[in-house]
């Protein structure tokens, strides 16, 4: 059996790979694990750096379960001639679904409403209770018009939303197909009822949303982060939510992740936090695992990876 390093994976991995690989621990690997390993399977977001690569003299491939590779030192892998694979495309729909789930949940008080409905205080229907923001017909600003952003825009069309977007490159085909309008970051922040972050974490997007950007948003505005925690400056977000500079936030990712259990953000009622569930659907997880295994097998056999980052 080929030996690979990985944090614990679900039984699905063995099922789909027909028990081909022997897994040794990644995060707590010993020298002999590293020496024996021909591949690293990156499950979850353990950091994979040049030092780890150097400790693995027989390393042929790094296969990431997921699309974002910000936790992997891709430049170090390239410098060492080690291909890095990921799973683009298969998770766009699930992540866009979850973006809409957060938009709807925050706007329509789903979580607060659930808690209230279970409490003894709910003793009759009150039309004035928990009046939220109308999603249909509102304006959505998508930051990052990649594959996931485009899926969000598609869903927003079904809600009759005006869709603004900001992206490194203009996407005329998305504008034509989905009626999205390319605008400056400033216009997006000022005019959107919902600002949805769907961009990768890069040096350009790290800390992208800070005090200035939050101040530029509408006071009724809702921020959704489906990207990566560090795209938002956590302290600034906490201040803006506390001061009522923006109305609320829906966060699938945070910085740090998880937040310390006594973090003030966890005390705020106008925030919904989910534990990085963007691609966590049954069908998508199955596809992700298959693509992860396909990259792993190709790299171990010295073939070109079906989905190679670098
Ligand atoms: C998950 O966060 C991914 O990058 O696929």
Q: For residue range 219-256, what is the model confidence (pLDDT) as tens digits?
A: 999 999 999 999 999 999 999 999 999 999 999 999 99
Per-residue CA distances from 262 to 129, 241, 259, 267, 293 (Å): 29, 17, 8, 8, 38
74 and 168 inside one domain: no
Ligand 1: does its nearest atom lie under 6 Å from the Cβ of 90? no
135 and 170 inside one domain: yes
The residue nearest atom 4 of ligand 1, judged by CA position, is: 68
* 137 in Cβ contact with 190 (< 8 Å): no
Ligand 1: does its nearest atom lie under 6 Å from the Cβ of 149? no
Number of domains in the chain: 2
Question: 8: domain range?
Answer: 2-88+282-300
* 173 in Cβ contact with 202 (< 8 Å): no
Q: Is residue 308 part of a domain?
A: no
* Cα 166 to middle of ligand 1, angstroms: 21
Is 228 tagged catalytic? yes
Q: Is residue 82 part of a domain?
A: yes
263 and 193 inside one domain: yes
Q: What is the mean pLDDT of the chain?
A: 98
The residue nearest atom 3 of ligand 1, judged by CA position, is: 66
Catalytic residue (one of 257, 263, 285, 287): 257
Say whether pLDDT at 310 is over 90. Answer: no
79 and 8 inside one domain: yes
| Cα separation, 136 vs 13, whole angstroms | 40
81 and 97 inside one domain: no
Task: Return the CATH number at 287.
Answer: 3.40.50.720
Q: Is residue 37 part of a domain?
A: yes
User: Whole-model pTM?
Assistant: 0.96
Q: Is residue 306 part of a domain?
A: no
Q: Is residue 131 part of a domain?
A: yes
Nearest atom within ligand 1 for CA of residue 91:
5
152 and 220 inside one domain: yes
76 and 193 inside one domain: no
191 and 256 inside one domain: yes
127 and 244 inside one domain: yes
Q: Which two tokens stand for residue 109?
A: 């008080």
From 278, 280, 309, give the residue whose CB has the most ligand 1 atoms within 8 Å, as the site to mutate.
278
Q: Please give the pLDDT value at position 221.
A: 98
Q: Is residue 228 part of a domain?
A: yes
109 and 184 inside one domain: yes
61 and 154 inside one domain: no
pLDDT tens-digit profile of 98-150? Answer: 999 999 999 999 999 999 999 999 999 999 999 999 999 999 999 999 999 99
79 and 96 inside one domain: no
Instruction: Over range 289-302, report the average pLDDT.
Output: 98
Ligand 1: does its nearest atom lie under 6 Å from the Cβ of 279? yes
Per-residue CA distances from 197 to 56, 96, 289 (Å): 36, 11, 25
Please, what sign has the CA dihedral across residues 244, 249, 254, 260?
positive
Among residues 25, 44, 41, 42, the alpha carbon closest in space to that of 33 is found at 25
* Cα 96 to middle of ligand 1, angstroms: 12
């Amino acid at each position: 059996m080929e030996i690979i390093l990985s944090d614990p994976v679900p039984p699905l991995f063995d099922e789909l790979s027909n028990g081909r690989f022997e897994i040794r621990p990644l995060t707590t690997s010993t020298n002999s694990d590293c020496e024996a390993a021909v591949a690293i399977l990156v499950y979850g977001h353990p950091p994979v750096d040049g030092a780890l690569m150097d400790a693995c003299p027989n390393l042929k491939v790094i296969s990431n379960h997921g699309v974002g590779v910000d936790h992997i030192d891709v430049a170090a892998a390239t410098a060492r001639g080690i291909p890095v694979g990921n799973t683009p495309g298969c998770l766009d729909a699930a992540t866009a679904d979850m973006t809409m789930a957060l938009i709807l949940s925050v706007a329509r008080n789903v979580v607060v409403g659930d808690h209230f409905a279970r409490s003894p205080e709910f003793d009759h229907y009150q039309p004035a209770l928990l009046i939220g923001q109308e999603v249909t017909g509102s304006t959505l600003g998508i930051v990052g018009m990649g594959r996931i952003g485009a899926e969000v825009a598609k869903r927003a069309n079904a809600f009759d939303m005006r869709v603004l977007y900001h992206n490194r490159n203009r996407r005329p085909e998305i504008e034509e197909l989905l009626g999205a309008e390319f605008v400056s970051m400033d216009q997006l922040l000022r005019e959107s009822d919902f600002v949805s972050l769907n961009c990768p974490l890069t040096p350009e997007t790290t800390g992208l949303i800070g005090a200035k950007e939050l101040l530029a948003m509408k006071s009724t505005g809702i921020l959704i982060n489906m990207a990566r925690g560090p795209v938002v400056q956590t302290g600034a977000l906490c201040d803006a939510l506390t001061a009522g500079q923006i109305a609320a936030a829906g966060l699938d990712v945070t910085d740090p992740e998880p937040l310390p259990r006594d973090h003030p953000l966890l005390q705020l009622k106008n925030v919904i936090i989910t534990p990085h569930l963007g691609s966590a659907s049954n069908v998508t997880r199955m596809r992700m695992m298959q693509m992860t295994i396909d990259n792993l097998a190709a790299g171990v056999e010295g073939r070109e990876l079906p989905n190679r980052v670098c």
